[in-house]
Amino acid sequence: MATEGTDRAGNKFLRLRPKAIVPVTIDLKLLPLKGSLYINEQLAVPFLVTNKGANVSTVTVTVRDDQNFVKTTTSLEYMLQPGQNTLGQFSLHAGSTVGVTSTVTVSASASAAADVDFQYDTVIVTTEERVVRKEDNTIPVCNITAVTGSCDVTMLDPCMCSQYNWSGIAEIQDDGFGLYLVTASVNTTGTFRHDPFSVGYNGTISATITSDCCHPLAYITVVDLASNTGQCVFYLAPRLTNYVHSFKPTTQCQTSSDWSTDRVIMAIAAQDAGLLVIVILIAICVVCVRGRNKDVQ
């Protein structure tokens, strides 16, 4: 039997239930789950329940699931004042099987409401296997074990530096995810070699670097699979502070034949200068003689 009518605002309504409507005096909300339901572990199902009625009420909150994940408490009671709310939670206990899905239903009812009037909410959970992600904060190690040669001030002369060579040896190791890349800052005049390794190698390898005194500063850079970067520095001119060999000679370096040519030019220039002085002296003498002849006349 149905009842039809219109409310004071002119809205039509249709009541299908024969019993009187009793306003719900509680409000139940399931809160977000903090994590997943991992096998052989527990997961809390939190909720918030509020007494929205005008009287003190005893609120009963219950939980059930279709996979029996709830092993302990299945019902909780709260005495709530009008407008008061409280937080609570139920615990789910997963088994050892991955991929089991369960529908968890949490319901709440108040003592002031009819037995047939209650609120409920559901959440679906599936058991998972916990995957522990490893972290690698270990910086690869590059240790210089030997250096042969040096570059003093005279050896850094741009016209002479290529004649002086140096070399170094380093040991490289990573204790984290393993080595990924090993490089060095040597140009075409230098060489760099290291022991072969596969990506992710955790052992120790040896590296050799060579260059000349035109490039007395060089780096070996080591990168691991976690992008951690280590470095060792070969500096063959430690007495020079902040040495940077980035300049180029403003003049070409002269060979022995160049020096001979310059000397010939200088000799010719000197001879021309002497001839010019003689010509000037002769001119002065001529002027003096002419002056005396005029005085005699």
Examine the domain organization and report whether 153 and 111 are in the same domain.
no
Dist. CA 137–CA 189, nearest whole Å: 36
Q: Which two tokens stand for residue 123?
A: 């959440």
Examine the domain organization and report whether 107 and 163 are in the same domain.
no
Q: Is residue 184 part of a domain?
A: yes
Amino acid 278: pLDDT:
53
Q: Which two tokens stand for residue 111?
A: 């003592």
Alpha helices in 176-255 (DSSP H): none
Q: What is the pLDDT along the chain (297 residues), one digit of tens a residue?
A: 556 778 888 887 766 656 555 566 789 999 999 999 999 999 999 999 999 888 888 999 999 999 999 988 899 999 999 999 999 999 999 999 999 999 999 999 987 555 555 789 999 999 999 888 788 889 999 999 999 988 888 888 888 888 999 999 999 999 889 999 999 998 777 899 999 999 999 989 999 999 999 889 999 999 999 999 999 999 988 766 544 444 444 445 654 444 333 433 333 344 444 444 454 555 565 455 455 555 544
Q: How many distinct structural domains can be found in the chain?
A: 2
39: CATH: 2.60.40.10
Amino acid 256: pLDDT:
41
Residue carrying structure tokens 């040096």: 150
Q: Is residue 20 part of a domain?
A: no
Q: Which two tokens stand for residue 274?
A: 């002497």
The helix/strand/coil state of 266 is: helix
Q: Is residue 55 part of a domain?
A: yes
Identify whether the C-beta of residue 236 lies closer than 8 Å to the C-beta of residue 243: no
Amino acid 184: pLDDT:
93
Examine the domain organization and report whether 77 and 151 are in the same domain.
no
pLDDT in tens, 157-176: 888 888 999 999 999 999 88
Q: Is residue 17 part of a domain?
A: no
223: CATH: 2.60.40
Which residues face 223 on adjacent strands?
181, 229
- Full residue range of the structural domain in which residue 177 is found: 141-235
3-state SS of 171-211?
Answer: EEECCCCCEEEEEECCCCCCEEEECCCCCCECCEEEEEEEE
Examine the domain organization and report whether 158 and 65 are in the same domain.
no
Examine the domain organization and report whether 83 and 149 are in the same domain.
no
Q: Is residue 277 part of a domain?
A: no
Amino acid 131: pLDDT:
83
Dist. CA 70–CA 32, nearest whole Å: 18
Cα angle at 38 between 35 and 43, to 5 degrees?
55
Which residues face 119 on adjacent strands?
108
Reference 70, options 97, 45, 98; nearest CA is: 45
Cα–chain-centroid distance for residue 294? 101
Q: Is residue 205 part of a domain?
A: yes
Q: pTM surpassing 0.85? A: no
Q: Is residue 3 part of a domain?
A: no
Examine the domain organization and report whether 121 and 145 are in the same domain.
no
Examine the domain organization and report whether 123 and 150 are in the same domain.
no
Cα–chain-centroid distance for residue 257? 58
Cα dihedral 276, 278, 280, 286 sign:
negative
pLDDT in tens, 220-254: 999 999 999 999 999 988 766 544 444 444 445 65
Q: Is residue 279 part of a domain?
A: no
